[in-house]
Amino acid sequence: MKTKHVSMGALALIFAVLFSAASAQPPKEEAPAVKVVYLGKNDDQSIFRLLVENVSGEDCLISLKDETGTTIYSEKFSTALYNKKFYIEEPLIESGELTLSISLRKTGAVQKFVINKKITTTEEVVVKKES
């Protein structure tokens, strides 16, 4: 009976040490949830919506660059919810790839989205039997 009691005590001590070690680690920063949606075209502009859920309120940087690395647009924010429409001129999209980056200042984590235009032509031939 005495051995069982010592085993329970040792087990309790192990759990106490593991629990305190786990709680001593700093919590991991969650990357913000990012959604980029193509909304359509208006005259000579493509419209995109950028939605960033920055739960931690960490400083973020948004940048839009062309394929040569030239910054077209950049903005800093630290709000919990960032929701904005971007109007991008068609010639800019047709000239090559654009890269939209959302980076966290504190951790340096980056999420990138590539925007490019793909034009396809579809030809459909239909054959129907007449009654």
What tens digit of pLDDT does each residue of 37-62 get? 999 999 899 999 999 998 888 999 99
Chain segment 3-33, per-residue pLDDT in tens: 444 444 444 444 444 444 444 444 455 667 8
Domains of the chain, first to last = 33-115 (2.60.40.1930)
Radius of gyration from C-alpha coordinates of the chain: 26
Q: What is the pTM of this model?
A: 0.66
pLDDT of residue 15: 46
Which is nearest to 100 in space by CA: 91, 108, 110? 110
Sign (positive or negative) of CA dihedral 113, 116, 117, 118:
negative
Q: Which residues pair with 92 in a beta bridge?
A: none
